[in-house]
Amino acid sequence: MEPNIIKERICSQDGSCDCLTVGDLAPCTIVIFGASGDLTARKLIPALYHMYLTGSLPDPVSIVGCARTPLSSDEFRSLMQEACEVNGKADMSGWSEFASFLFYRQLIYNSENSFRELAAYLSELDGQWGTKGNLVFDLALPPSLYAVVAEMLGRAGLADQHKENRGWSRIVVEKPFGRDLDSALDLDRTLHEYFQEKQIFRIDHYLAKETVQNILMFRFANTIFEPIWNRGYIDSVGIMAAEKLGVENRAGYYEQAGVIRDMFQNHMLQLMSLIAMEAPSHFESERVRDEKVKLFRSIRPFSRREGEVVLGQYGPGMLDGKGVKGYRQEPGVAPESLIPTFALMNFYVENWRWQGVPFCLVSGKRMARKETRIIIQFKEVPHSIFRDVLGEKIIPNRLVLSIYPEEGISLTFQTKNPGARVCLRPMTMDFRYDTGSVLDAYEKVLLDCILGDHLLFWRQDGIEQTWRILTPILNECEHCQGRRQHLHTYPAGSWGPDAAGEQVDKIRDRREVKSAP
């Protein structure tokens, strides 16, 4: 049987909070495929090391890196130590002990024999470390290898649970989950041929950020917001995920993906679902994911009306006072590439709560700064009693959920400006996570995978629904006549193409608003 997971939150009256996981954090072996790659060095091993330092890893645990690169375990440990020194946020005082349960195996991904040898090695390691046959397989690989590795794991018997003294077996898949609806269904068929849905953990690390997790708490644990969380009071919703970086060393992937596949199918629509979904009957992973799927099914089918979709590609520009290349000048990018690096999309939800409210989703590369935020724009007051007296237009209330660079929540409202003169002044109430201890997103998703908690992970029907929404958009954008004319160039270091400027400015509204004391 899989461990019974109970989560308990103990909060003191002064507002501090200790989050405890009560139950069985089962011993396991974590197997990372793609262990010689960038994701492992930059994110996974630093996250696992920090989890070890904070006591968030099982005891016992072993970690096995697998890749095609010929390395010994000692060479792998040395490389990962260097990576943690560069990318980690913890001191290295505990590295020697952590490295003692870090191992490496060279592997050929399409070789069943190679995987059978891995199975024998993992069985031997399990006997030495006492990890009770529990296995986590993390696919830090190019998407083209997901189905191959899943099939090889199945053929080698590593996907089987609770057989021959083996415990549970779980597979972790990074986005993208296919490149359109058909490929997503193909990947799903391969995964489900060998793994049950409850064994599959499809990561979206955005969901592990504190502010993102806080959205459901904010909405459904406070009576003051949920009654006005609808078309009667909300004018629009804006979601922006701007990136300062270009494609860096991922041109091969990005030339096949573009911004819609890279950001909208996962991160952007997940954020929208948390804002727009109905309340689940219980705070439980399946109930929450049920409501997300209902929301995705309610999104209006795509139509190419003016301003509903704006696509762009960054050209040469200036960032931090330095000249940077345009997308087509990046190494590995086709000189005449028509891949969008920026997209603005307006979605509408066809239900009673949200009918007529636009959800404006924006994401792009090489923008002026890295910034992720959600803006709830409330409607203007229906009748201003101050307009004739003060001659002022009342600025509507805004709720801003900041995800990056800082994580927090701000609410803008109107007050009287102190002094003899009667006039209005916008103020904000701010909450920030600056003073708290915040788990890294990869630490959170790895911990939840070990616990078997699916709340922060995609379910297959949710993936299918998002591709049903986006595949017609992709087909229209990639195969329409005049495709070149629909792709707007914007300078690197700007906030996107002029065609999207008005809507982007609305999301990025930076009025000087004083904080409430």
Q: What distance in Å separates the CA atoms of residue 449 and residue 171, rounded to the nearest whole number?
A: 9
Q: Which residue type is seen at 7?
A: K
Q: Pull the structure tokens for residue 292.
A: 């997300």
CA atoms within 13 A on the CB side of 460: 16
Does residue 488 have an active-site annotation? no
- Residue 368 is classified by DSSP as S
Looking at residue 394, its amino acid is I
Q: Which of 50, 205, 267, 486 is catalytic?
A: 267
CA distances from 121 to 34, 114, 115 (A): 18, 11, 10
Using DSSP, how many helices (H) and how many strands (E) does the chain show?
16, 21
Q: How far apart are CA 113 and CA 115, in angstroms?
A: 5
Task: Give the Cα separation of 29 and 51 in Å (integer).
Answer: 15
Q: Can you state the percent helix, strand and coil of the chain, rounding each to 5? A: 40, 25, 40
Token pair of 24, please? 């069985």
CB 296 within 8 A of CB 469: yes
Q: Residue 124 is encoded by which pair of tokens?
A: 């031997």
The amino acid that residue 359 corresponds to is: F
The residue with tokens 């900041």 is 402
Torsion of CA 471, 473, 478, 482, to 10 degrees: 160
Grouping H, G, I as helix, E, B as strand and the rest as coil, residue 388 is helix
Q: How many CB atoms lie within 10 A of CB 183?
A: 16
Q: Which residues are catalytic?
A: 267
